[in-house]
Amino acid sequence: MSRPPRRTGARRGPRRPVDPARRAAFDALRAVHAGGAYANLALAEILDRRHLDERDAALATELVAGSSRLQGTYDAILEAAAGRPLSSLQPAAVDVLRLGTHQVLSMRIPTRAAVDSAVDLAGTAIGERVTGLVNAVLRKVAAHDLDAWVDRLSAGTSGVERLALRTHHPRWIAQTYADLLGEEAAAALEADNVAPRPTLVVRPGLTERDDLVAAGATATRWSPYGAVGVGNPGDLVAVRDGRAGVQDEGSQLVALALSRVEAPAGRWLDMCAGPGGKAALLTGLARARGEDVLAAEVAEHRAGLVAQALRAYRPRPGVICADGTRPAWRAGAFARVMLDAPCTGLGALRRRPESRWRHQPEDVDDLVPLQAQLLVSAIRSTLPGGVVAYVTCSPHPSETEDVVQTVVDELGAQRTVVEVLDAPAFLPEVPACGRADPWGGQRFVQLWPHRHGTDAMFLALLRVG
């Protein structure tokens, strides 16, 4: 007598079609984990191509952002539930499990619906052979809520390790925040887990912030050029025609600070200008003084984004594809230089949630020589009495204060005098934005999500002697 077929836990019969939101989220995660894409950009491209309605687009966005933000926590939970390392599973199946775990533990979706939808997605996108695994693992995940899972994972831990687990960050990032903020670290890390509302910025001279407010936006707290909360920014005429754009208030503030420093008349340089937000704001601020901006960007496709950001200005500002470490301009050519240096982006984890799991501590070390080289080039590109803004979207000491100190000291030894200005004095409306400098002062600006509602932007202002 033959044995009946063994049940796998997967649904029998015709499989239900996967809803477009979950399929879009899965495809975006595959682009992130298999292709190295940024989650927000990958999803935006998919949503634009597939024309999802507003409800499905919102669901897909939450699935991608949430599963990326808590990826490390979810992976630890999944390994505990599966009883095996995730490296032993097919990568596509792991992404299905992450999406399912987010629905089970962090969304108001009934467990059965969350598990069944994940099984359907696995069967359609990968194959029936993985549906039993997905079903079994997610049912074990559903045995506890998120808080209970975190309690289990953090049992026996303390200090920074416990902080990292409970705020869903790698330990090395939690340690960086603890070193910089002490007791404030938990609040800062928790703020990374709150998705920011879209922030807009006007192009000065082309439109006014009041026009955005009239369209339903709310004026930003400190930047006189920003507004928050208008739904889909692309629906606004001012955004479509280039008179306004999307830009975090922190980025607006560091550009504003550079414009407020006394400096000789002359052309301005945005040395690493991609994707163009700061260049567009600086252009409006410079032209109000009768001056202009040259935008330089080493990557050709990003130089194209800069040109797009500047398209509404007449005459159009100069945009060149150039490597800031090998300047395409003469020394001392500019009165003001903006150097928003390539960095790990640890200050933008609200908007790039997958970045916290993508980066490793050695990534910081790899970037520091480039940052220092670019800062030396920026200083040498500045005329005597001119000002350089050294900016990073990272609070990490190696990318911020250490770079500034190294460059200032090295150039000083070569008899190039560089004065570190009191940067917070140029943002007097922004509270608690000072950060200690290596020479015993508080001359750096450090913005924080939990204090200021912005990305964690760092700013040093340097006057060239």
For residue 430, give the CATH number of its domain: 3.40.50.150
Has this prediction a pTM greater than 0.75? yes
Q: 58 and 200, same structural domain?
A: no
Predicted pLDDT at 4: 39
Our count of domains for the chain comes to 4
CATH code for the domain in which residue 239 is found: 3.30.70
Q: 428 and 368, same structural domain?
A: yes
Residue 10 reports pLDDT greater than 50: no
CATH code for the domain in which residue 48 is found: 1.10.940.10
143-172 mean pLDDT: 97
Q: 340 and 435, same structural domain?
A: yes
pLDDT band for 451, please (50, 70, 90 cuts): very high
pLDDT band for 6, please (50, 70, 90 cuts): very low
**Residue 6 domain-assigned (yes or no):** no
**Residue 24 domain-assigned (yes or no):** yes
**Residue 11 domain-assigned (yes or no):** no
pLDDT band for 13, please (50, 70, 90 cuts): low
Q: 239 and 119, same structural domain?
A: no
pLDDT band for 17, please (50, 70, 90 cuts): confident
Dihedral sign for Cα atoms in the order 51, 53, 58, 63? negative
Q: 127 and 214, same structural domain?
A: no
The rounded distance, in Å, linking the Cα atoms of 11 and 20 is 20
Which one, of 135, 61, 152, lies nearest residue 100 by Cα? Answer: 135
Residue 1 reports pLDDT greater than 70: no
**Residue 7 domain-assigned (yes or no):** no
34-47 mean pLDDT: 93
Q: 322 and 388, same structural domain?
A: yes
Q: Tally the C-alpha atoms within 13 A of residue 23's C-alpha that lie toward its C-beta.
A: 13
pLDDT tens for each residue of 248-264: 999 999 999 999 999 99
**Residue 114 domain-assigned (yes or no):** yes
Q: 110 and 55, same structural domain?
A: yes
pLDDT tens for each residue of 111-141: 999 999 999 999 999 999 999 999 999 999 9
% pLDDT > 70, the chain: 97
pLDDT tens for each residue of 86-97: 999 999 999 999
Residue 8 reports pLDDT greater than 60: no
Predicted pLDDT at 389: 98
Residue 3 reports pLDDT greater than 70: no
Q: What is the mean pLDDT of the chain?
A: 95
The rounded distance, in Å, linking the Cα atoms of 368 and 413 is 20
Q: 226 and 131, same structural domain?
A: no
**Residue 377 domain-assigned (yes or no):** yes
Q: 205 and 168, same structural domain?
A: no
**Residue 5 domain-assigned (yes or no):** no
List residues with catalytic annotation. Answer: 393
Residue 9 reports pLDDT greater than 50: no
Q: 300 and 238, same structural domain?
A: no
pLDDT band for 14, please (50, 70, 90 cuts): low
**Residue 167 domain-assigned (yes or no):** yes
Structural domain containing residue 228 = 196-246
Predicted pLDDT at 5: 37
pLDDT tens for each residue of 204-243: 999 999 999 999 999 999 999 999 987 888 889 999 999 9
Q: 167 and 96, same structural domain?
A: no
pLDDT band for 15, please (50, 70, 90 cuts): low
Q: 252 and 241, same structural domain?
A: no
382-391 mean pLDDT: 98
Q: Which of 206, 226, 246 is the last residue of a domain?
A: 246
Instruction: Kindly state the tokens that stand for 76.
Output: 């630890």
Q: Which of 147, 181, 213 is the last residue of a domain?
A: 147
Predicted pLDDT at 232: 83
